A and B are shown apart, each in its own frame.
Chain A
Amino acid sequence: MTRIGVVIFPGSNRDRDTLRAIELAGGEAVPLWHETASLEGSAAIVVPGGFAYGDYLRAGVIARFSPVMRAVGAFAERDGLVLGICNGFQVIAEAGLVPGALLRNRGLRFLGRDVHIAIERFDTPFTMLAGPRRPLRVPIAHGEGCYFADDVTLDALERDGQVLFRYVHDDGSVAGEAGDPDNPNGSLRAIAGVINAAGNVAGLMPHPECAVEALLGSDDGFGIIRSLVESAGAAEREGRAPRLAGSAA
């Protein structure tokens, strides 16, 4: 079974949901404690949500320098698949694995509710099984989710297809930038998630791992988790999953 590592920092709180979603999707979920530099033979890594190291200084920044994140950075550099969710998105953005930064929500409040997002591309390791094309209803739970990058970067992201998820209205049309409750945090160009230029690292603020079965109110996020598990399995079979020195086979 394909091993998918889930990083756990002091203050992570969606790690259990993520581990369970991975198992539901047929993967072997492997918890990875922040102090270890080994990825234990994982074929993909999820950096889950929470408040790593209390979100002190800036959300995600302390976590960025942890031993496990140094290993994740090396893994990503060798084309390993990495998905950052919510606080995990903040961590990988601080680490420079994906472009941009997450600012305080424009309305200043922490928001916990369902939103609609659209997947902009279905040809990535994170979205290939997430069709059909329709808005997904998934929860958010964050205080610092306002996606920011300068205009030059934003234009490049749009041009290169690196905007992977966008906040939309329930009819699928793109939400506005400021003052539109369907863009909950005021993200520039309603960006809810991005993918790096190489196509192996993605991050998003909403929680697909918390919308993986009807019992939870929505299973719209399951396609994203399934895509990751399947992609990791394929990478492993084809010998593309990086193996780091010192990590278990």
Chain B
Amino acid sequence: MSEFRFAVNVLPKPGILDPQGRAVEGSLGHLGIAGVSAVRVGRRVELTVEAPDEGAAAAIAERLASELLANPLIEAHGVERIA
């Protein structure tokens, strides 16, 4: 068994209202920053999976992402291998 580290990135799906993103956008003016738009706020979860190989580990991370870390009705997710 080896250990593999992944990051799961979760974002509101396109078209889903993202009030947090909108709030961040709304604050940009206070910072004197112009030209920034389409802010989306999501979540990043990093985790270590113990498995015989990377494929098996990735499958576990993907299952965790789709069943728990993201709600497929409203959120999209991606799984990436990290060091």
Contact = CB atoms under 8 A, between A and B. Distances in A.
A106 B19 contact: yes
9 nearest A-B residue pairs (beta carbon): A101-B73, A101-B74, A108-B19, A104-B19, A106-B19, A108-B23, A101-B71, A58-B71, A148-B74
B19 to A, nearest CB: 5
Interface string A101-136: 101111110000000000000000000000000000
Contacts of A108: 19-20, 23
B36 interface: no
A105 B20 CA distance: 10
B49 interface: no
Interface of B: 16-17, 19-20, 23, 43, 68-69, 71, 73-74
Given A148-B73, A148-B74, A103 B17 contact: yes
Contacts of B73: 100-101, 148-150
Nearest to A107: B19
Interface in A115-172: 146, 148-150
A57 B68 contact: yes
Given A108-B23, A150-B73, A186-B17, 5 more contacts: A65-B68, A100-B73, A101-B74, A108-B20, A148-B16
Nearest to B20: A104
A106 B69 contact: no
Contacts of B74: 101, 103, 148
Nearest to A146: B17
Interface string A90-102: 0000100000110
A106 B19 CA distance: 6
Nearest to B70: A58
